[in-house]
Amino acid sequence: MFTLEKLENSTPILPVTVDTLAEVRAHLPTFVHNWLDLNKFTGKPGEICIIPALSGKLGTALVGYDPAATALWSIAGLPAQLPEGHYHLEANWSENDQMLAAIGWGLGQYEFAITKKPQEPEQRKLYLSAHYERVVAFVNAINSVRDLVNMPANRMMPEHLAVHMHTLADEFDASFQQLVGDDLIEHGYPAVYEVGRASKHKPRVLELHWGDKKNPEVVLVGKGVCFDTGGLDMKPSSAMRLMKKDMGGAAHVIALARLIMQMNLPICLRVLVPAVDNAIGGDAFRPGDVINTRAGKTVEVDNTDAEGRLILCDALTAACEHEPALVIDFATLTGAARVALGTEVPVFFSNSRPLTQQVQQASADVDELMWNLPLYKPYMHQLKTQFADLKNSGDSYGGAITAALFLNEFVPDTIPWLHIDMMAWNLRARPGRPVGGEAMGLFAVYHYLEQTFQTMIPD
Protein backbone atom coordinates (compact mmCIF):
# COMPACT_ATOMS: atom_id res chain seq x y z
CA MET A 1 0.00 0.00 0.00
CA PHE A 2 2.80 2.43 0.98
CA THR A 3 6.58 2.47 0.86
CA LEU A 4 9.21 4.68 2.48
CA GLU A 5 11.68 3.94 -0.31
CA LYS A 6 11.46 5.70 -3.65
CA LEU A 7 12.61 3.26 -6.33
CA GLU A 8 14.31 4.29 -9.55
CA ASN A 9 11.50 2.73 -11.57
CA SER A 10 8.77 4.43 -9.53
CA THR A 11 6.01 5.77 -11.79
CA PRO A 12 5.06 9.43 -11.29
CA ILE A 13 1.42 10.34 -10.75
CA LEU A 14 0.80 13.80 -12.16
CA PRO A 15 -2.50 15.49 -11.15
CA VAL A 16 -3.79 18.04 -13.66
CA THR A 17 -6.86 20.17 -14.18
CA VAL A 18 -8.64 21.37 -17.29
CA ASP A 19 -6.91 24.73 -16.80
CA THR A 20 -3.38 23.39 -16.19
CA LEU A 21 -3.31 20.70 -18.86
CA ALA A 22 -2.04 23.05 -21.56
CA GLU A 23 0.91 24.08 -19.41
CA VAL A 24 1.71 20.45 -18.65
CA ARG A 25 1.50 19.51 -22.34
CA ALA A 26 4.00 22.23 -23.19
CA HIS A 27 6.70 20.30 -21.33
CA LEU A 28 5.87 16.94 -22.91
CA PRO A 29 7.17 15.50 -26.21
CA THR A 30 5.03 15.39 -29.34
CA PHE A 31 4.29 11.67 -29.15
CA VAL A 32 2.72 12.25 -25.70
CA HIS A 33 0.53 15.01 -27.16
CA ASN A 34 -0.69 12.51 -29.72
CA TRP A 35 -1.30 9.92 -27.02
CA LEU A 36 -3.33 12.38 -24.92
CA ASP A 37 -5.38 13.35 -27.96
CA LEU A 38 -5.92 9.72 -28.93
CA ASN A 39 -7.23 9.01 -25.40
CA LYS A 40 -9.30 12.23 -25.44
CA PHE A 41 -7.79 13.27 -22.13
CA THR A 42 -8.97 16.75 -21.09
CA GLY A 43 -8.04 16.85 -17.39
CA LYS A 44 -11.61 16.64 -16.16
CA PRO A 45 -11.99 15.24 -12.61
CA GLY A 46 -11.75 11.46 -12.61
CA GLU A 47 -10.11 11.14 -16.04
CA ILE A 48 -6.96 9.03 -16.16
CA CYS A 49 -4.39 8.65 -18.90
CA ILE A 50 -1.42 6.31 -18.53
CA ILE A 51 1.45 7.44 -20.75
CA PRO A 52 3.87 4.71 -21.82
CA ALA A 53 7.60 5.34 -21.82
CA LEU A 54 9.66 4.72 -24.96
CA SER A 55 10.97 1.58 -23.24
CA GLY A 56 7.45 0.18 -23.25
CA LYS A 57 7.11 0.47 -19.49
CA LEU A 58 4.90 2.91 -17.59
CA GLY A 59 5.95 6.50 -18.05
CA THR A 60 3.53 8.80 -16.23
CA ALA A 61 -0.03 8.54 -14.96
CA LEU A 62 -1.98 11.74 -15.55
CA VAL A 63 -5.11 12.14 -13.47
CA GLY A 64 -7.69 14.90 -13.68
CA TYR A 65 -8.87 16.39 -10.41
CA ASP A 66 -11.01 19.22 -9.08
CA PRO A 67 -8.81 21.80 -7.31
CA ALA A 68 -11.82 23.11 -5.38
CA ALA A 69 -12.52 19.70 -3.85
CA THR A 70 -10.67 17.99 -1.03
CA ALA A 71 -7.39 16.37 -1.98
CA LEU A 72 -8.50 13.27 -0.06
CA TRP A 73 -10.23 11.67 -3.02
CA SER A 74 -8.06 13.16 -5.79
CA ILE A 75 -6.15 9.93 -6.54
CA ALA A 76 -8.34 7.48 -4.61
CA GLY A 77 -9.63 5.90 -7.80
CA LEU A 78 -6.18 5.11 -9.19
CA PRO A 79 -5.41 1.86 -7.33
CA ALA A 80 -8.36 0.21 -9.06
CA GLN A 81 -7.09 1.28 -12.49
CA LEU A 82 -3.30 1.22 -12.38
CA PRO A 83 -1.10 -1.84 -12.96
CA GLU A 84 0.89 -3.29 -10.09
CA GLY A 85 4.00 -1.33 -9.28
CA HIS A 86 5.54 1.51 -7.30
CA TYR A 87 4.30 5.09 -7.66
CA HIS A 88 5.01 8.55 -6.34
CA LEU A 89 3.03 11.77 -6.42
CA GLU A 90 4.41 14.69 -8.43
CA ALA A 91 2.24 17.62 -7.42
CA ASN A 92 2.91 21.17 -6.32
CA TRP A 93 0.50 20.69 -3.42
CA SER A 94 0.77 21.59 0.22
CA GLU A 95 2.17 18.96 2.55
CA ASN A 96 -1.29 18.51 4.07
CA ASP A 97 -2.94 17.93 0.68
CA GLN A 98 -0.29 15.38 -0.25
CA MET A 99 -0.93 13.60 3.05
CA LEU A 100 -4.70 13.58 2.38
CA ALA A 101 -4.14 12.25 -1.14
CA ALA A 102 -2.04 9.43 0.32
CA ILE A 103 -4.84 8.53 2.73
CA GLY A 104 -7.23 8.43 -0.22
CA TRP A 105 -4.81 6.16 -2.08
CA GLY A 106 -4.85 3.75 0.85
CA LEU A 107 -8.64 3.83 1.12
CA GLY A 108 -8.87 3.24 -2.62
CA GLN A 109 -7.25 -0.17 -2.14
CA TYR A 110 -9.89 -1.39 0.30
CA GLU A 111 -11.66 -4.63 -0.46
CA PHE A 112 -13.69 -6.71 1.96
CA ALA A 113 -12.17 -10.13 1.43
CA ILE A 114 -12.48 -11.68 4.88
CA THR A 115 -15.26 -14.06 3.85
CA LYS A 116 -13.82 -14.86 0.41
CA LYS A 117 -11.33 -17.44 -0.74
CA PRO A 118 -7.85 -16.02 -0.08
CA GLN A 119 -6.04 -14.69 -3.13
CA GLU A 120 -2.61 -13.22 -3.65
CA PRO A 121 -3.01 -9.45 -3.11
CA GLU A 122 -1.89 -7.15 -5.88
CA GLN A 123 0.82 -4.66 -4.95
CA ARG A 124 0.38 -1.00 -5.78
CA LYS A 125 2.59 1.02 -3.47
CA LEU A 126 2.79 4.78 -3.09
CA TYR A 127 5.98 6.42 -1.88
CA LEU A 128 5.51 8.51 1.26
CA SER A 129 8.15 11.09 2.11
CA ALA A 130 6.45 12.21 5.34
CA HIS A 131 3.58 11.54 7.76
CA TYR A 132 3.77 7.78 7.30
CA GLU A 133 2.38 6.96 10.76
CA ARG A 134 -0.51 9.39 10.44
CA VAL A 135 -1.49 8.22 6.96
CA VAL A 136 -1.42 4.56 7.98
CA ALA A 137 -3.35 5.33 11.18
CA PHE A 138 -6.22 6.94 9.29
CA VAL A 139 -6.34 4.25 6.62
CA ASN A 140 -6.36 1.48 9.21
CA ALA A 141 -9.02 3.18 11.34
CA ILE A 142 -11.41 3.85 8.48
CA ASN A 143 -10.92 0.43 6.97
CA SER A 144 -11.59 -1.12 10.37
CA VAL A 145 -15.01 0.56 10.38
CA ARG A 146 -15.64 -0.89 6.93
CA ASP A 147 -14.56 -4.37 7.97
CA LEU A 148 -16.70 -4.42 11.12
CA VAL A 149 -19.81 -3.09 9.37
CA ASN A 150 -19.39 -5.34 6.32
CA MET A 151 -18.95 -8.45 8.43
CA PRO A 152 -22.01 -10.74 8.22
CA ALA A 153 -24.04 -10.82 11.41
CA ASN A 154 -23.37 -14.51 11.97
CA ARG A 155 -19.71 -13.51 12.37
CA MET A 156 -20.25 -10.23 14.22
CA MET A 157 -22.52 -10.87 17.19
CA PRO A 158 -21.89 -9.26 20.63
CA GLU A 159 -19.35 -11.92 21.57
CA HIS A 160 -17.37 -11.29 18.36
CA LEU A 161 -17.45 -7.55 18.92
CA ALA A 162 -16.08 -8.19 22.41
CA VAL A 163 -13.14 -10.16 21.01
CA HIS A 164 -12.35 -7.39 18.55
CA MET A 165 -12.44 -4.70 21.23
CA HIS A 166 -10.37 -6.82 23.64
CA THR A 167 -7.74 -7.34 20.93
CA LEU A 168 -7.61 -3.59 20.34
CA ALA A 169 -7.12 -2.98 24.06
CA ASP A 170 -4.24 -5.46 24.18
CA GLU A 171 -2.60 -3.80 21.16
CA PHE A 172 -2.42 -0.43 22.91
CA ASP A 173 -1.95 -1.59 26.49
CA ALA A 174 -5.46 -0.48 27.44
CA SER A 175 -7.76 -2.24 29.89
CA PHE A 176 -10.88 -4.09 28.80
CA GLN A 177 -13.82 -5.50 30.68
CA GLN A 178 -17.31 -6.68 29.83
CA LEU A 179 -20.62 -7.45 31.50
CA VAL A 180 -22.58 -10.32 29.99
CA GLY A 181 -26.19 -11.49 30.26
CA ASP A 182 -27.66 -11.46 33.77
CA ASP A 183 -24.68 -9.49 35.06
CA LEU A 184 -26.15 -6.49 33.28
CA ILE A 185 -29.05 -6.46 35.75
CA GLU A 186 -26.78 -6.77 38.75
CA HIS A 187 -24.51 -3.95 37.55
CA GLY A 188 -27.19 -1.52 36.46
CA TYR A 189 -27.77 -1.89 32.72
CA PRO A 190 -31.43 -3.06 32.69
CA ALA A 191 -32.40 -1.51 29.34
CA VAL A 192 -29.48 -3.18 27.54
CA TYR A 193 -30.53 -6.50 29.05
CA GLU A 194 -34.19 -6.08 28.04
CA VAL A 195 -33.36 -5.36 24.40
CA GLY A 196 -30.95 -8.28 24.01
CA ARG A 197 -32.43 -10.92 26.29
CA ALA A 198 -34.33 -12.88 23.60
CA SER A 199 -31.21 -13.79 21.63
CA LYS A 200 -28.94 -16.75 22.30
CA HIS A 201 -26.15 -14.23 21.73
CA LYS A 202 -26.14 -12.68 25.18
CA PRO A 203 -26.27 -8.89 25.49
CA ARG A 204 -23.14 -7.19 26.78
CA VAL A 205 -21.62 -3.90 27.78
CA LEU A 206 -18.04 -3.63 26.55
CA GLU A 207 -15.68 -1.13 28.16
CA LEU A 208 -12.17 0.03 27.30
CA HIS A 209 -9.95 2.42 29.32
CA TRP A 210 -6.73 4.06 28.15
CA GLY A 211 -4.57 7.04 29.01
CA ASP A 212 -3.34 9.04 31.94
CA LYS A 213 -6.09 9.69 34.49
CA LYS A 214 -4.65 13.17 35.01
CA ASN A 215 -5.78 14.11 31.50
CA PRO A 216 -9.34 15.23 30.64
CA GLU A 217 -11.72 12.28 30.39
CA VAL A 218 -13.43 11.74 27.03
CA VAL A 219 -16.06 9.02 26.78
CA LEU A 220 -17.04 7.45 23.46
CA VAL A 221 -20.33 5.53 23.30
CA GLY A 222 -21.25 3.41 20.29
CA LYS A 223 -24.53 1.73 19.43
CA GLY A 224 -23.79 -1.97 19.02
CA VAL A 225 -26.95 -3.57 17.66
CA CYS A 226 -25.26 -6.43 15.84
CA PHE A 227 -28.44 -7.28 13.97
CA ASP A 228 -31.80 -5.56 14.10
CA THR A 229 -34.89 -7.51 13.11
CA GLY A 230 -36.98 -4.71 14.55
CA GLY A 231 -38.01 -7.07 17.33
CA LEU A 232 -41.72 -7.86 17.60
CA ASP A 233 -42.36 -4.70 15.57
CA MET A 234 -40.56 -6.57 12.84
CA LYS A 235 -39.02 -4.80 9.88
CA PRO A 236 -40.03 -5.83 6.35
CA SER A 237 -37.39 -7.90 4.58
CA SER A 238 -36.27 -4.96 2.41
CA ALA A 239 -35.54 -2.85 5.50
CA MET A 240 -33.86 -5.75 7.32
CA ARG A 241 -31.44 -6.57 4.52
CA LEU A 242 -28.68 -4.20 5.67
CA MET A 243 -29.27 -4.47 9.40
CA LYS A 244 -25.89 -6.07 9.98
CA LYS A 245 -24.74 -2.44 9.81
CA ASP A 246 -26.73 -1.45 12.91
CA MET A 247 -23.56 -1.81 14.97
CA GLY A 248 -21.99 0.95 12.88
CA GLY A 249 -21.87 3.27 15.89
CA ALA A 250 -19.80 0.72 17.79
CA ALA A 251 -17.51 0.35 14.77
CA HIS A 252 -16.98 4.11 14.70
CA VAL A 253 -16.04 4.52 18.36
CA ILE A 254 -13.71 1.52 18.20
CA ALA A 255 -11.98 3.04 15.16
CA LEU A 256 -11.86 6.49 16.76
CA ALA A 257 -10.35 4.91 19.88
CA ARG A 258 -7.71 3.30 17.67
CA LEU A 259 -6.83 6.69 16.19
CA ILE A 260 -6.71 8.39 19.58
CA MET A 261 -4.44 5.72 21.05
CA GLN A 262 -2.19 5.42 18.01
CA MET A 263 -1.74 9.18 17.79
CA ASN A 264 -1.36 9.39 21.58
CA LEU A 265 -3.81 12.23 22.21
CA PRO A 266 -3.45 13.57 25.77
CA ILE A 267 -6.83 12.42 27.06
CA CYS A 268 -8.11 9.81 29.45
CA LEU A 269 -10.19 7.66 27.12
CA ARG A 270 -13.17 5.53 28.03
CA VAL A 271 -15.15 3.59 25.43
CA LEU A 272 -18.56 2.08 26.16
CA VAL A 273 -20.32 -0.22 23.69
CA PRO A 274 -23.71 -1.71 24.57
CA ALA A 275 -23.85 -4.76 22.28
CA VAL A 276 -27.06 -6.69 21.56
CA ASP A 277 -28.86 -8.80 18.99
CA ASN A 278 -32.41 -7.43 18.66
CA ALA A 279 -33.93 -10.84 18.03
CA ILE A 280 -37.48 -12.20 17.98
CA GLY A 281 -38.23 -14.95 20.48
CA GLY A 282 -40.42 -16.07 23.32
CA ASP A 283 -38.59 -13.76 25.72
CA ALA A 284 -38.44 -10.71 23.46
CA PHE A 285 -39.41 -7.36 24.93
CA ARG A 286 -42.82 -6.17 23.76
CA PRO A 287 -44.63 -3.00 22.70
CA GLY A 288 -46.25 -1.62 25.84
CA ASP A 289 -43.63 -3.03 28.21
CA VAL A 290 -42.30 -0.60 30.80
CA ILE A 291 -38.60 -1.06 31.41
CA ASN A 292 -36.17 0.36 33.93
CA THR A 293 -33.02 2.26 33.04
CA ARG A 294 -29.72 2.89 34.76
CA ALA A 295 -30.81 6.48 35.43
CA GLY A 296 -33.84 5.29 37.41
CA LYS A 297 -36.28 6.59 34.81
CA THR A 298 -38.87 4.23 33.37
CA VAL A 299 -39.52 3.93 29.65
CA GLU A 300 -42.61 2.58 27.93
CA VAL A 301 -41.73 0.66 24.80
CA ASP A 302 -43.74 2.31 22.05
CA ASN A 303 -41.86 0.46 19.32
CA THR A 304 -39.36 -2.39 19.65
CA ASP A 305 -37.63 -1.13 16.50
CA ALA A 306 -36.54 1.97 18.44
CA GLU A 307 -34.16 -0.20 20.43
CA GLY A 308 -30.92 1.67 19.80
CA ARG A 309 -31.86 4.56 22.04
CA LEU A 310 -32.79 2.10 24.80
CA ILE A 311 -29.34 0.56 24.96
CA LEU A 312 -27.67 3.95 24.52
CA CYS A 313 -29.56 5.54 27.40
CA ASP A 314 -27.98 3.12 29.89
CA ALA A 315 -24.53 3.60 28.37
CA LEU A 316 -24.85 7.41 28.32
CA THR A 317 -25.91 7.39 31.97
CA ALA A 318 -22.80 5.37 32.83
CA ALA A 319 -20.65 7.63 30.64
CA CYS A 320 -21.67 10.72 32.63
CA GLU A 321 -21.24 9.31 36.13
CA HIS A 322 -17.67 10.56 36.58
CA GLU A 323 -18.41 13.99 35.06
CA PRO A 324 -16.12 13.68 32.02
CA ALA A 325 -14.95 16.62 29.96
CA LEU A 326 -16.83 15.34 26.91
CA VAL A 327 -19.19 12.56 25.84
CA ILE A 328 -19.57 11.57 22.17
CA ASP A 329 -21.90 8.90 20.85
CA PHE A 330 -22.13 7.46 17.36
CA ALA A 331 -25.24 5.59 16.25
CA THR A 332 -27.05 4.38 13.16
CA LEU A 333 -30.13 5.61 14.95
CA THR A 334 -32.90 6.93 12.70
CA GLY A 335 -34.21 6.71 9.18
CA ALA A 336 -35.52 10.22 9.76
CA ALA A 337 -31.97 11.60 9.71
CA ARG A 338 -31.48 9.94 6.32
CA VAL A 339 -34.70 11.50 5.04
CA ALA A 340 -33.52 14.90 6.24
CA LEU A 341 -29.97 14.86 4.83
CA GLY A 342 -29.70 11.74 2.71
CA THR A 343 -27.43 8.78 3.32
CA GLU A 344 -24.05 10.47 2.93
CA VAL A 345 -24.27 13.37 5.40
CA PRO A 346 -24.25 12.58 9.13
CA VAL A 347 -26.57 14.52 11.41
CA PHE A 348 -25.27 15.71 14.76
CA PHE A 349 -26.84 17.18 17.87
CA SER A 350 -25.28 18.78 20.92
CA ASN A 351 -26.37 20.24 24.25
CA SER A 352 -23.57 22.83 24.01
CA ARG A 353 -23.55 25.77 21.61
CA PRO A 354 -19.73 26.16 21.70
CA LEU A 355 -19.33 22.43 21.00
CA THR A 356 -21.80 22.67 18.12
CA GLN A 357 -19.86 25.54 16.57
CA GLN A 358 -16.49 23.85 17.04
CA VAL A 359 -17.64 20.59 15.46
CA GLN A 360 -19.20 22.44 12.55
CA GLN A 361 -15.90 24.27 12.06
CA ALA A 362 -13.95 21.01 12.27
CA SER A 363 -16.26 19.59 9.61
CA ALA A 364 -15.45 22.53 7.34
CA ASP A 365 -11.72 22.35 8.10
CA VAL A 366 -11.40 18.76 6.89
CA ASP A 367 -14.08 19.05 4.20
CA GLU A 368 -16.17 16.22 5.64
CA LEU A 369 -19.71 17.46 5.82
CA MET A 370 -21.68 16.95 9.03
CA TRP A 371 -24.74 19.01 9.80
CA ASN A 372 -26.35 20.13 13.02
CA LEU A 373 -30.03 19.71 13.82
CA PRO A 374 -31.60 21.31 16.89
CA LEU A 375 -32.53 19.72 20.18
CA TYR A 376 -35.96 21.30 19.83
CA LYS A 377 -37.42 20.64 23.26
CA PRO A 378 -41.05 21.48 22.44
CA TYR A 379 -41.09 18.13 20.57
CA MET A 380 -40.69 16.38 23.93
CA HIS A 381 -44.47 16.19 24.07
CA GLN A 382 -44.20 13.29 21.58
CA LEU A 383 -42.34 11.23 24.20
CA LYS A 384 -44.86 11.68 26.99
CA THR A 385 -46.94 8.73 28.19
CA GLN A 386 -49.29 8.10 31.11
CA PHE A 387 -47.60 4.78 31.91
CA ALA A 388 -43.92 5.74 32.41
CA ASP A 389 -41.54 8.68 32.69
CA LEU A 390 -41.24 8.71 28.91
CA LYS A 391 -41.66 6.45 25.88
CA ASN A 392 -39.05 5.44 23.36
CA SER A 393 -40.48 6.90 20.15
CA GLY A 394 -42.68 9.72 18.96
CA ASP A 395 -44.95 10.23 15.99
CA SER A 396 -43.90 10.27 12.34
CA TYR A 397 -42.50 13.81 12.31
CA GLY A 398 -39.05 14.97 13.44
CA GLY A 399 -37.88 11.46 14.25
CA ALA A 400 -34.16 12.30 14.39
CA ILE A 401 -34.88 15.16 16.80
CA THR A 402 -37.15 13.15 19.10
CA ALA A 403 -34.57 10.35 19.23
CA ALA A 404 -31.90 12.87 20.23
CA LEU A 405 -34.26 14.42 22.78
CA PHE A 406 -34.79 10.98 24.31
CA LEU A 407 -31.03 10.50 24.69
CA ASN A 408 -30.65 14.02 26.02
CA GLU A 409 -32.81 13.03 28.99
CA PHE A 410 -29.92 10.84 30.16
CA VAL A 411 -27.14 13.45 29.81
CA PRO A 412 -26.79 16.27 32.36
CA ASP A 413 -26.73 19.77 30.89
CA THR A 414 -23.39 20.36 32.61
CA ILE A 415 -21.58 17.73 30.52
CA PRO A 416 -20.81 18.64 26.87
CA TRP A 417 -22.36 15.96 24.67
CA LEU A 418 -22.20 15.25 20.96
CA HIS A 419 -24.62 12.80 19.33
CA ILE A 420 -23.94 11.65 15.76
CA ASP A 421 -26.63 9.87 13.74
CA MET A 422 -25.23 8.40 10.51
CA MET A 423 -25.82 5.77 7.84
CA ALA A 424 -22.43 3.96 8.07
CA TRP A 425 -23.02 2.57 4.58
CA ASN A 426 -22.32 3.68 1.01
CA LEU A 427 -25.24 3.02 -1.30
CA ARG A 428 -23.17 4.04 -4.33
CA ALA A 429 -19.55 3.56 -5.32
CA ARG A 430 -17.22 6.54 -5.63
CA PRO A 431 -13.43 6.71 -5.91
CA GLY A 432 -12.01 5.32 -2.68
CA ARG A 433 -15.51 4.63 -1.32
CA PRO A 434 -16.97 1.30 -2.44
CA VAL A 435 -20.52 0.20 -1.78
CA GLY A 436 -20.74 -1.14 1.77
CA GLY A 437 -19.72 -0.15 5.28
CA GLU A 438 -18.26 3.32 5.62
CA ALA A 439 -16.83 5.66 8.24
CA MET A 440 -18.77 8.91 8.44
CA GLY A 441 -17.75 11.88 10.55
CA LEU A 442 -14.53 10.26 11.72
CA PHE A 443 -12.20 12.83 10.11
CA ALA A 444 -14.19 15.75 11.50
CA VAL A 445 -14.55 14.40 15.05
CA TYR A 446 -10.90 13.40 15.28
CA HIS A 447 -9.86 16.83 13.99
CA TYR A 448 -12.04 18.45 16.65
CA LEU A 449 -10.48 16.30 19.39
CA GLU A 450 -6.98 17.00 18.14
CA GLN A 451 -7.56 20.75 18.00
CA THR A 452 -9.27 20.81 21.39
CA PHE A 453 -6.84 18.67 23.36
CA GLN A 454 -3.68 19.91 21.59
CA THR A 455 -1.11 17.25 21.06
CA MET A 456 2.09 16.92 19.11
CA ILE A 457 1.43 14.51 16.27
CA PRO A 458 4.35 12.23 15.36
CA ASP A 459 5.39 11.98 11.72
Which residue type sits at 409? Answer: E
Residue 131, Ramachandran bin (φ over 0: left; ψ between -120 and 50: alpha; else beta): left
Q: What angle do CA 359, 362, 364 make, to 5 degrees?
A: 115
DSSP states along 199-244? SSS--EEEEEEES-TTSPEEEEEE-EEEEE--TTSPPPHHHHTTGG
- Are 73 and 430 in contact, with CB atoms under 8 Å apart? yes
DSSP states along 33-84? HHHHHHTT----TT-EEEEEPTTSSEEEEEEE--TTS-GGGSSTTGGGTSPS
Q: How far apart are CA 185 and CA 391, in angstroms?
A: 21
Q: Among all residues, which ones are annotated catalytic?
A: 235, 309
Taking residue 235's Cβ as centre, other Cβ atoms within 10 Å add up to 15
With both helix axes pointing from N to C terminus, report the angle between 442-453 and 248-262 in degrees, rounded to the nearest 10: 40
Which residue type sits at 383? Answer: L
DSSP 433: B
Query: Residue 128: helix, strand or coil by DSSP?
Result: coil
| Pairing assessment for the beta strands 204-210 and 268-278 based on DSSP bridges | antiparallel
List, in order, residues 6 or more apart from 298 with CB less than 8 Å away: 290, 291, 292, 388, 389
Q: What angle do CA 193, 195, 198 make, to 5 degrees?
A: 85
List, in order, residues 6 or more apart from 365 with CB less than 8 Å away: 444, 447
Q: Among residues 303, 293, 380, 296, which one has the least CA distance to residue 334? A: 303
